Structure formats: C-alpha cells, structure tokens
C-alpha cells in the first residue's frame, strides 16, 4: 500500500511537470490534453457520472447525455489542472482568475461577531474560491474543512496548496469539535457541504430524490446561532470565475431541532440544485451521492 501511495504521488508530480511544460506552448493546452485523456482513454467513474446525470436529468436523450458527459470531463479537467497550477500562482494571478459578487454579505456577518459558516460545494473550482476568500479576509483566518484522501502524500500535497495564503485546514474526522471551537471564538469556517451522508442518517430532496446528507454543519449553526452564507464559484465562458455569496437565512425554520436541521439542509441543497441546473457540467458528478 505504501508503494502504491508513493507511485500515485510520483504520477501526480509527473503530470504537474508535464502540464507546466504544455502551458509554455498554450495556456489551455494542459486542460485540453487532460480532457482528451478523461473522455477517450481513462474515463474515470463513467458509470457513476452517467447514473447521476440520468437521475438528475431524466428527460435527456442518449445524445444529450453523451454531450453532457464530455462537458463534465472537460470541466473536471480544467479544475484539476488549475489546482495543480495554484501551487505556483501569485496573489495577482488569483485575482486575475476570480471576482466576487455580494462579498459585502460576508463582511457584514463578520462584523456581527457571531462566527460565520461559508457553505459551498464541489462546483466550478471550489479550491480557488477558498484561496480567494482567504486572501480577501486578510487578517482573519479561514478554517477550511477538508476530507483526508486515501493517499496521505496527496493529502499533504493538497493541504500545502490550500494553506499557501494563510488558510488553515480542519480534518474531517475531528470536524465537529474543531469547528465548534473555531465558531465559539467567532472565527470563519469553510465547509463543502455536498458530501454523501451516512446511509441511515438525515435525508433531503435533491433533484426530486431522497439524498443522504450530513447534519453536523446545520446542527452547529443552530446551537451557536451562527449565520450561514452560501458561497459558490462559477466558471464563465471566458474561463474565469465569479464567486457568488448569499445568506442562507434559517430564521424561518420551525419544529423540533431535528426538523430544523433538515430544513436548513434542504435550503442548501435546493440552492445548490439551482446552480447545477443552470451549469450542469460544473458539478462534481464523479461523487456517488446516490449510492443508496
């Protein structure tokens, strides 16, 4: 297993060098090469992607599904290549790639000194969004909840990229305790909330299907009365990004604590679904969210 981990890491390093070399000839060449590999040579998790797309968009015919599948691989390739390049990006290059809309909502919530949860998703380039928010916050640390990869070398590589501009990473395994502590101290936490939850756990509607989700983020927000801001990074036709911010207001939720948690998660998933419907290729369809 240790040999496999090292081999995978060396392969990642090889592709990093290879893509930097290709970029010298044309800045879009690396993502085009990777897109070709994913579509025609190594179609990663193709069956999962197609199953998910058929569930989400049942009215698409075979030709439309095939076209969307190619666009999904192309979008994933762009995101992965960008993540590789982020290790050498300057602050100026980050800001050339992304702009914010309604960031004043974040600033307003920080001034309230109640802590803040930035709730995002595996959409567009979420890693870029975290880097840019960290830069924008300047003297305020963004604590990013991260899932440990199977390969520890890849985890270390990713975390080194994530922390380049001052962000802190919070391992998923200890997330509840650590996030609780940060928010008690009026800090800011970034959470990617579209992971598949436990089989017997909380479910909400997502593309009209019962979908398992994690209750932890909503539960902490309720207990500590912490505001939630929905944040999502959308790639435009020029290949750059706009990050949108919108308060996920939960003042209107009613019922028991469990019912309130479900309603908050439903608000989040409904908002995410609206963006996926508009930009379907930009969500991370390789994730087997409807495994059960």
Quickly count: other Cβ atoms within 10 Å of residue 147's Cβ.
12
Per-residue buried b or exposed e for 255-264, using 16+ beta carbons within 10 Å of the residue's own CB: eeeeebbbbb
For residue 174, what pLDDT is reported?
Answer: 60
Residues contacting 156, CB < 8 A, separation 6+: none
Handedness of CA 164, 168, 173, 175 (dihedral sign): negative
Q: Over its length of 292 residues, how does the chain's per-residue pLDDT go in tens digits?
A: 588 889 989 989 998 999 999 998 898 999 999 999 999 999 999 999 999 999 999 999 999 999 999 999 999 999 999 999 998 899 999 999 999 999 999 999 999 999 999 999 999 999 999 999 999 998 899 999 988 788 889 999 999 999 999 999 988 766 667 888 999 999 999 999 999 999 998 999 999 999 999 999 999 999 999 999 999 999 999 999 999 999 999 999 999 999 999 999 999 999 999 999 999 999 999 999 999 9
Q: How many CA atoms lie within 13 A of 280 on its CB side?
A: 18
For residue 175, what pLDDT is reported?
Answer: 62
- How far does Cα 224 stand from its chain's mean position? 24
Cα–Cα separations (whole angstroms), residue 131 to 64, 106, 166, 216: 34, 15, 9, 24
């Amino acid at each position: 297993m240790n040999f496999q981990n090292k081999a995978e890491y060396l392969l990642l390093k090889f592709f990093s060098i290879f893509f930097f070399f290709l970029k010298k000839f044309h800045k879009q060449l690396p993502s085009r090469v990777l897109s070709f590999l994913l579509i025609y040579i190594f179609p990663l998790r193709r069956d999962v992607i197609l199953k998910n797309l058929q569930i989400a968009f049942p009215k698409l015919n075979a030709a439309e599904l095939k076209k969307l599948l190619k666009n999904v691989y192309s979008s994933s390739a762009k995101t992965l290549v960008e993540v590789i390049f982020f290790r050498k990006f300057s602050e100026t290059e980050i800001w050339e790639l992304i702009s914010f809309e309604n960031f004043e909502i974040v600033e307003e919530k920080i001034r309230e000194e109640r802590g803040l949860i930035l709730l995002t998703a595996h959409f567009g380039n979420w890693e870029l969004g975290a880097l840019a928010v960290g830069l924008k916050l300047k003297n305020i640390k963004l604590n990013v909840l991260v899932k440990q990869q199977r390969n520890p070398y890849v985890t270390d590589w990713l975390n080194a990229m994530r922390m380049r501009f001052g962000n802190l990473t919070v391992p998923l395994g200890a997330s509840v305790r650590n996030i609780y502590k940060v928010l008690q101290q009026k800090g800011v936490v970034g959470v990617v909330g579209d992971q598949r939850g436990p089989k017997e756990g909380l479910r909400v509607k997502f593309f009209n299907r019962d979908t398992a989700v994690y209750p932890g983020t909503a539960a902490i927000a309720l207990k500590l009365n912490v505001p939630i801001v929905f944040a999502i990074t959308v790639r435009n036709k020029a290949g750059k990004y706009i990050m949108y911010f919108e308060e996920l207001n939960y003042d209107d939720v009613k019922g028991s604590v469990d019912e309130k948690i479900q309603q908050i998660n439903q608000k989040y998933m409904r908002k995410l679904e609206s963006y996926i419907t508009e930009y379907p290729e930009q969500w991370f369809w390789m994730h087997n969210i409807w495994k059960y």
